[in-house]
């Protein structure tokens, strides 16, 4: 049986003395405020203590437990609620993710985040596919990841995996090929202004008819662009499209000037 230590790569060893490198610890107040303001589950990994420093009180990630219980379980939580196949996947992601970071210049590592999908078994025993984004927030003096913020939401994908690393401010993404065991560079999906407008207005709760009035086009035109958007993303609903855009850092919340056509 695998142990918790399997998740903590030897290439990312953090020691007690790293606590003395001057980084501030009141950041948890900001994390807690963020957790209140989002529908996603939030937790913080401490790689030195090899456990969770914080877990938000969001039922998506708790699998019937309290946030305190999950925090106390730490990585044993994964052994209890992640199926064996996906547990192997998480260990793989842990290895290839740290290997990727080792090749990134020290001063640049804080600009990268990794996202991936895996199953959780909830309190009813049902498997749900979730997306997790992991972003480093503290490093030790050698550039090893000390603490990381994890954001958990429902996945818009159909299967587990989908391992991607994004760099803030860039339009490219690195995707890990599980068959060939290599990272390959890709471009982020590019949405047209019209597709972005429809997504933004849908996030605000507008119906197809309301969007058509705002954009001065017919409902059939909105339906056409929605259909093309769904095909591009490989989703079947606007809820899934919004989730896909958020999970893949498509920046749909940037203001786009609404255009007439």
**CATH code where residue 127 lies:** 3.30.450.20
Q: Is residue 254 part of a domain?
A: no
Residues 15, 138 within the same domain: yes
Asked whether residue 253 is domain-assigned, the answer is no
Domain boundary among 139, 160, 187: 187
% of the chain at pLDDT higher than 90: 49
- Give residue 210's domain range: 193-247
**What pLDDT does 23 receive?**
52
Separation between Cα atoms, residue 179 and residue 181, nearest integer Å? 6
CB 138 within 8 A of CB 146: yes
Assess whether 241 and 180 both reside in one domain: no
Q: Are residues 108 and 202 in the same domain?
A: no
- Other beta carbons less than 10 A from residue 40's beta carbon: 21
Q: Are residues 34 and 139 in the same domain?
A: yes
Give pTM, 2 decimals: 0.73
Beta-strand ranges (E) seen in the chain are 41-46, 51-55, 112-121, 127-139, 145-154, 161-167, 172-177, 182-187
- The predicted model gives 199-208 an average pLDDT of 88
* Domain end marker among 187, 202, 229: 187
Task: Tell me, yes or no, whether 95 and 223 share the same domain.
Answer: no
Among residues 172, 187, 202, the one where a domain terminates is: 187
Report the pLDDT value the prediction gives residue 118, as an integer from 0 to 100.
Answer: 97
Q: Cβ distance 134 to 115 under 8 Å?
A: yes
The answer, yes or no, to whether residue 246 has pLDDT greater than 90, is no
3-state secondary structure of 238: helix
> Are residues 120 and 144 both part of a single domain?
yes
What pLDDT score was predicted for residue 172? 83
The two structure tokens encoding residue 66: 């309290």
Q: Please list the residues that pair with 135 across neighbouring strands.
A: 149
Is residue 180 domain-shared with residue 232, that is, in the same domain?
Answer: no
Does residue 256 carry a pLDDT above 50? no
Per the prediction, the chain carries an average pLDDT of 86
**Structure tokens given for 88:** 């192997």
> Which sign does the torsion angle of CA 75, 115, 146, 57 carry?
negative
Number of domains in the chain: 2
CA distance 18 to 32: 24
């Amino acid at each position: 049986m695998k142990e918790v230590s399997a998740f903590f790569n030897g290439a990312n060893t953090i020691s007690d003395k790293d606590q003395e490198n001057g980084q501030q610890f009141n950041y948890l107040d900001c994390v807690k405020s963020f957790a209140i303001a989002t529908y996603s589950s939030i937790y913080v990994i401490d790689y030195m203590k090899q456990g969770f420093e914080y877990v938000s009180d969001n039922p998506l990630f708790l699998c019937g437990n309290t946030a305190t219980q999950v925090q106390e379980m730490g990585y044993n939580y994964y052994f209890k609620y992640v199926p064996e196949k996906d547990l192997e996947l998480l260990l793989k992601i842990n290895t290839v993710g740290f290997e990727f970071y080792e090749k990134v210049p020290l001063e640049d590592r804080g600009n990268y985040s990794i996202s991936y999908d895996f199953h959780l078994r909830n309190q009813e025993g049902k498997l749900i596919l979730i997306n997790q984004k992991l972003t480093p927030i503290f490093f030790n003096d050698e550039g090893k990841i000390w603490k990381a913020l994890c954001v958990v939401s429902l996945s818009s994908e159909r299967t587990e995996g989908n391992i991607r690393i994004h760099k803030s401010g860039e339009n490219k993404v690195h995707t890990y090929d599980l068959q060939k065991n290599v990272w390959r560079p890709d471009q982020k999906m590019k949405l047209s202004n019209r597709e972005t407008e429809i997504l933004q207005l849908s996030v605000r709760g507008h119906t197809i008819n309301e969007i058509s009035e705002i954009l001065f086009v017919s409902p059939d035109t909105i339906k056409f662009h929605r259909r093309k958007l769904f095909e591009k993303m490989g989703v079947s609903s606007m809820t899934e499209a919004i989730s896909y855009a958020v999970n893949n850092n498509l920046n749909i919340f940037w203001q786009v000037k609404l255009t007439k056509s």
